[in-house]
Amino acid sequence: MEISSLGEFGLIRHLTGEIKLKNDSTLKGIGDDAAVLSYKDKEVLVTTDLLLEGIHFDLTYVPLKHLGYKSATVNFSDIYAMNGQPRQITVSMGISKRFSVEDLEDFYEGLKLACEIYGVDLVGGDTSASLTGLCISITCIGEASRDRTVYRNKAQNTDLIYVSGDLGAAYMGLQLLEREKAIFAGEKDFTPDFTGKEYLLERQLKPEARKDIIRLLDENGILPTSMIDISDGLSSELLHICTQSGVGCRIYEERIPVDYQTALMAEQFNMNLTTAALNGGEDYELLFTVPLSLHEKTETMDGIKLIGRICEAAEGTNLIACDGMEIPLVAQGWNSFL
């Protein structure tokens, strides 16, 4: 079905007509000039992501349903990184003529699935024609208790550095997809063999935001001194924390968590595994610091790994390699302007 057959407002009604609200803070969602939200005794958190076809995603190998899901969860991840809870999103899209109504149904199916799983309300947005492919802008609104919002700039000397999950898998998934795209370039019908590599593809195409880690921290009475989500790579994010907190760090190569499939794929691509884990990005894991006094509590938590410590700024920001050599960290994560 051509989008022009519905028109802008008909398209919006078609895609959003069945949406049900879940949060008490959402007083009015889609259907008026603006959504109406009410947060009582909470800090309001707001984050926005812009995703452009050809820059942030390639529809040669990214299914639109997965793209909708990922577009939502990467925003949720930013809210969790502030120790908050995502509650509402608005979605704006620029759509070129090559897309059909069915294409947008697929995108919204993924978007609504993410909202359902994470308990988030879709409360508005906008649509427009685009001459440059698919453009997606999502704004997420969340909440946090006034005394429990976590920033990047409060890390202290002797704090311990933790990371959730494992690193580098999303980057290896991207390399795998790009390789298959190059191999089958020009062929209309092809079926790449991804047997045994499902985890890498899922990490790239359908990342999850770590709401479980936020819940565990709260249940264990742990309030991080600083926190950030890993979108551009461990090295870049850790340097953000150190720069904004005015501290240094020491992390240990042997402690950086990587999955077996990631290690195997790095070997096949003849890539340095540590470099991929440090700089690959799109892991959407949580990187956070906690006071040394909470070491015993954090050690009992599943799903996180101690990778180093915060030190004085004069000591620098260094990776301690397996052979004991100190290597200065460099922000080499993905940069769309390069």
- Model confidence pLDDT, tens digit, residues 167-180: 999 999 999 999 98
By CB atoms closer than 10 A (0-12, 13-18, 19+), residue 47 is buried
DSSP-assigned beta bridge partners for residue 328: 318
d(CA 17, CA 92): 16
List where CATH 3.90.650.10 sits in the chain.
160-328
Supply the pLDDT for residue 337: 44
Stretch(es) of the chain classified as CATH 3.30.1330.10: 3-145
Write down the CATH number for the domain with range 3-145.
Answer: 3.30.1330.10
CA-nearest of 64, 145, 49, 163 to 110 is 64
Q: How far apart are CA 108 and CA 87, in angstroms?
A: 18
pLDDT at 332: 76
Q: How many CB atoms lie within 10 A of CB 224?
A: 25
Longest C-alpha distance within the chain, in Å? 65
Q: What is the pLDDT of residue 20?
A: 82
CATH tag, 160-328 = 3.90.650.10
CB atoms within 10 A of CB 155: 25
Strands across the sheet with 42-52, in order?
42-52, 135-145, 85-95, 121-129
pTM: 0.92
Helices (H), the chain: 7-16, 64-80, 101-118, 169-183, 198-205, 211-219, 234-245, 260-268, 273-279, 295-299
Q: Which residues of the chain have pLDDT under 50?
A: 337-338
pLDDT at 3: 62
Report pLDDT for 7.
60
Distance CA 251, CA 172 (A): 22
